[in-house]
Each structure stands twice: as structure tokens, then as C-alpha cells.
């Protein structure tokens, strides 16, 4: 019989910006609320772990690696962290995009559930491998598409699905970030990604989430003009025009070389036109700004992930927003699965996990849904590599030139 009391052991793999600014604050807050137990963090460098200890001086966690040369790269240390993770564990994968698959796969094979930062992975074949492994082992493997939790996106879904917009005709999404992203935060791996793969996929998934439509074909364009002048063989900007199965079209524009003076890290929004109505939202300008001597003019999005005064702990803060909600949904789902199967023998537990996951597949970005964003990402790369040729999808969502 299990003596588990319901607090999830959590391992975060990857110690970069999203871990520091969103994931760890979320996990530590959930631990204060009794939903998370021991916390571990695995990164490539002891210096990253040391930095996170300085950022969170009052938070206890186990680090991998936690000693030695601060700048020595130890890319395999996550494996020991997975091995050490206690039963009922949840692994949050926050590595560079091209490393998601190996970490998620090894975590599931070790008996743990997984929440992966978007995109799930960069290749359709890898997405199918993760899908088949998750189903075979009865393991939760969700992609953190936090834009699904943005109330501006949820509103579009709700109104579209009740018929207010009619049939979809076309849409335009834009999501662009300041140049600090490839030059500071992702300097070691920006050449292996692009602004479309990193952030544009949010809006590809949002269109799928809102409408339920699947992509039919796309054409993409990419520009390398400024980043190569500062030593980075990476795309400044990428655009894609996606035609969906009903004939509607979504144009997505992305870049990560906006000027440092931009009033928010991310400029983003979505416009949709249907036969019976229109949706338009500036997801950067939420009609809230600060202007301070220290920071100047700032557009302020109160909805993504922000600190507020804690209602019950004077002097403390509470983390609130759709970036928080998305991670917590995954942790809550995992807790539900582990609670329902605690104390069962392995055969019965496996069948129960599979049954619960089958119920969640239509509701969550599990691999069957996350496959769509992965397919679009791979197709965008294929189109650009072939002089912006049109790319279609087969029955398994594998992209091919047409």
C-alpha cells in the first residue's frame, strides 16, 4: 500500500529565464499550499544552480549539479536527477526546445509524469514517439501552452464555439520580442531555434484551440539580416501563412529583434474574421501602464504572470496569471492521476492511468494535441529550406513538399 500523502515531488529540468521567472515561483507557491513536496532542479552548469539559490534564498531545493566548476557543462546530470526523483514525481521540462524529447522520454520511462514547455518537440516523428510512450506507460505528458489560459484567447474560443463568429475566414497573429531574447537569454542555442518555433507556435496552437481545425498546408518565409551581423546565424524574423482544413487562413508574423526600447518584452495580438463577426485583441496593450523614473514607460500585462500582495501573508507576494494557471493545471492533473491510483498494484494502476488519460486527451494539450504545433513548426522549417515552397501534411501530420 502507498503511504503517499498527496504532495508531488517535482523536478525542473532547465534553469533558464522561464524557470527563474515563472516555473520556480509557481512550484514554490504550490509547495507552500501543500500540493508540492520536495523540489529538485537540474541544469547543465553548477553556476546556474548557484544563481537560482541566490534568487530564491529561502527556498529549499536539491540542485544538479551543485558543486564543482561553475561554468563546466554537464549535459547528462538531469539523468541522475530523474533517477533520484521520488515516486509520484512530476518532471517539468524547460530545456532548449531541441532537447525536450530526450528528457521527457527518459522521465516517462522512469515512471514519472511530464509537463513540457511549448513546443512539445521540433519533429513530428519525435512527437509520435512521445505519444506512443505516454499511452503505453499511462503517463501524463502535457505541453505548457499557456496562451490557452489567457482569458482573451478563452473568450475567442467560447464565442466562436457558440457560433457568434460564424465560419472562420481568416486571421492575423503577431508575436515579437526584444533582441535580448536571442542575445542574452538564448544566446547559447538561438541558432537552433527561431522566433516562430519559440513563440509563434503559441498562436498556431491558439487557432487550433479556438476552432478545433487542423492545418492543411502552409508557406513560410524567414529573414537573417541583423543577427548575423552580431555573430548569430539565426533568423531575425519568420512568417507563415497557414491554410486550415475548412479553407480559412491564418497569417502569423514573428521576430525577436525588436529594439531594446520596446515598452514590453513581447508585442503580441490576434485578429480573426468570420462570416458572422470579428475578434480583435492587442495582447500586449491591456490598457495598463506604468511610467517610473527607473524604468520609463512600460506596458503592463496584469494577466500573464505577476506578483500581487498576498491576501493572507502581510509583506509577502502571490503569483497570479495564466502562466501560473497553465503549470498548475498540469500539476493538478498529475496529482489527480496519482491519487486515483495510489495503493493499486501496477497492472490495475496502469489501466486506471490509461483510462484517466483517455478522458483528458480531448481536454488538454497532451501529445495528440501538441502534435499539431510540432507539425506546423517542422513544416515552417521545411518550407523555408525549400525557397518558401508550399508544404502539406499527411495523415500522421508529417510535413511534405507539395
With H, G, I as helix, E, B as strand and everything else as coil, classify residue 148.
helix
Predicted local distance difference test score (pLDDT) of residue 5: 86
CA dist 42 → 30, 84, 188, 193 (Å) = 19, 11, 17, 22
Residues 348 and 202 in one domain: no
* 182 lies in some domain: yes
Residues 162 and 65 in one domain: no
Q: Which residue has the cell 498556431?
A: 204
Angle between helix 346-360 and 124-137 (nearest 10) = 130
CATH code for position 240: 3.30.360.10
* 170 lies in some domain: yes
Predicted local distance difference test score (pLDDT) of residue 377: 98
Do 136 and 113 touch, CB atoms closer than 8 A?
no
Predicted local distance difference test score (pLDDT) of residue 2: 56
Residues 189 and 260 in one domain: yes
d(CA 122, CA 55): 31
Closest CA to 217 of 393, 394, 397, 398: 393
Predicted local distance difference test score (pLDDT) of residue 3: 72
* 333 lies in some domain: yes
Please say if the pLDDT value at position 372 is more than 70.
yes
Residues 285 and 159 in one domain: yes
Mean pLDDT, residues 71-88 = 96
b/e 336-359 (16+ beta carbons within 10 angstroms → b): ebbeebbeeeeeebbeebbebbee
Residues 219 and 285 in one domain: yes
Residues 48 and 65 in one domain: yes
* 314 lies in some domain: no
Residues 166 and 278 in one domain: yes
400 DSSP β-pair partners: 392
Q: Which residue has the cell 527607473?
A: 294
Residues 140 and 229 in one domain: no
d(CA 286, CA 94): 27
Domain count, the chain: 2
Predicted local distance difference test score (pLDDT) of residue 289: 96
pLDDT over 90 for what percent of the chain? 98
Plot region of 166 (φ>0 → left; ψ -120 to 50 → alpha; else → beta):
left
Please say if the pLDDT value at position 67 is more than 90.
no
Residues 62 and 118 in one domain: yes
Do 354 and 134 touch, CB atoms closer than 8 A?
no
d(CA 313, CA 237): 44
d(CA 111, CA 109): 5
Q: Which residues, 6 or more positions from 247, have their beta carbon under 8 angstroms from its beta carbon?
A: none
Please say if the pLDDT value at position 252 is more than 60.
yes
d(CA 48, CA 70): 8
Closest CA to 333 of 8, 38, 70: 8
Mean pLDDT, residues 106-116 = 98
**pLDDT tens digits, 231-249:** 999 999 999 999 999 999 9
Residues 237 and 382 in one domain: yes
pTM for this prediction:
0.96
Please say if the pLDDT value at position 1 is more than 50.
no
CATH code for position 351: 3.40.50.720
Please state the separation of Cα 157 from the chain's center in Å: 19
* 309 lies in some domain: no
Measured in degrees and rounded to the nearest 5, phi and psi for residue 226 equal: -95, -45
Plot region of 288 (φ>0 → left; ψ -120 to 50 → alpha; else → beta):
beta
* 308 lies in some domain: no
d(CA 391, CA 165): 28
Mean pLDDT, residues 170-182 = 97
* 1 lies in some domain: no
Average pLDDT of the chain, as a whole number: 97
Residues 325 and 294 in one domain: no
Residues 235 and 342 in one domain: no
**pLDDT tens digits, 192-208:** 999 999 999 999 999 99
* 3 lies in some domain: no
Q: Which domain holds residue 333?
A: 8-145+320-365
Mean pLDDT, residues 11-32 = 97
Predicted local distance difference test score (pLDDT) of residue 142: 98
Amino acid at each position: 500500500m502507498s503511504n503517499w500523502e498527496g504532495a508531488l515531488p517535482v523536478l525542473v529540468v532547465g534553469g533558464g529565464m522561464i524557470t527563474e521567472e515563472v516555473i520556480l515561483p509557481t512550484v514554490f507557491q504550490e509547495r507552500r499550499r501543500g500540493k508540492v513536496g520536495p523540489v529538485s532542479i537540474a541544469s547543465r552548469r553548477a553556476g546556474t544552480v548557484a544563481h537560482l539559490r541566490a534568487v530564491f534564498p529561502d527556498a529549499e531545493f536539491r540542485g544538479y549539479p551543485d558543486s564543482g566548476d561553475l561554468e563546466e557543462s554537464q549535459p547528462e546530470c538531469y539523468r541522475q536527477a530523474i533517477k533520484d526523483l521520488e515516486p509520484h514525481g512530476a518532471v517539468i521540462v524547460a530545456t532548449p526546445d531541441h532537447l525536450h524529447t530526450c528528457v521527457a522520454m527518459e522521465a516517462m520511462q522512469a515512471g514519472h509524469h511530464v509537463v513540457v514547455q511549448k513546443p512539445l518537440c521540433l519533429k513530428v516523428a519525435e512527437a509520435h514517439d512521445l505519444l506512443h510512450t505516454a499511452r503505453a506507460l499511462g503517463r501524463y505528458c502535457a505541453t505548457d501552452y499557456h496562451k490557452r489560459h489567457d482569458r482573451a484567447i478563452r473568450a475567442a474560443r467560447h464565442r466562436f464555439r457558440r457560433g457568434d463568429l460564424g465560419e472562420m475566414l481568416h486571421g492575423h497573429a503577431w508575436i515579437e520580442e526584444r533582441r535580448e531574447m536571442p542575445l542574452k537569454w538564448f544566446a547559447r542555442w538561438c541558432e537552433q531555434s527561431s522566433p516562430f518555433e519559440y513563440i509563434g507556435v503559441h498562436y498556431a496552437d491558439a487557432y487550433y484551440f479556438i476552432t478545433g481545425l487542423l492545418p492543411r498546408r502552409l508557406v513560410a518565409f524567414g529573414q537573417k539580416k541583423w543577427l548575423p551581423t552580431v555573430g548569430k546565424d539565426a533568423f531575425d524574423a519568420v512568417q507563415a501563412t497557414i491554410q486550415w482544413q475548412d479553407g480559412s487562413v491564418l497569417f502569423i508574423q514573428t521576430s525577436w529583434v525588436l529594439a531594446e526600447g520596446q515598452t514590453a518584452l513581447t508585442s503580441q495580438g490576434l485578429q480573426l474574421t468570420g462570416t458572422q463577426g470579428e475578434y480583435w485583441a492587442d495582447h500586449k496593450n491591456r490598457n495598463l501602464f506604468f511610467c517610473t523614473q527607473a524604468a520609463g514607460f512600460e506596458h503592463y500585462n496584469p494577466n500573464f504572470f505577476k506578483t500581487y500582495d498576498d491576501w493572507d501573508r502581510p509583506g509577502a507576494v502571490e503569483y497570479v496569471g495564466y502562466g501560473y494557471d497553465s503549470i498548475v493545471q498540469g500539476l493538478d492533473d498529475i496529482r489527480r492521476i496519482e491519487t486515483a491510483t495510489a495503493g493499486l498494484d501496477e497492472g490495475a494502476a496502469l489501466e486506471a492511468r490509461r483510462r484517466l488519460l483517455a478522458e483528458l486527451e480531448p481536454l488538454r494539450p497532451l501529445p495528440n494535441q501538441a502534435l499539431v504545433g510540432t507539425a506546423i513548426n517542422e513544416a515552417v522549417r521545411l518550407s523555408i529550406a525549400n525557397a518558401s515552397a508550399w508544404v502539406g501534411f499527411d495523415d500522421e501530420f508529417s510535413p511534405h513538399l507539395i
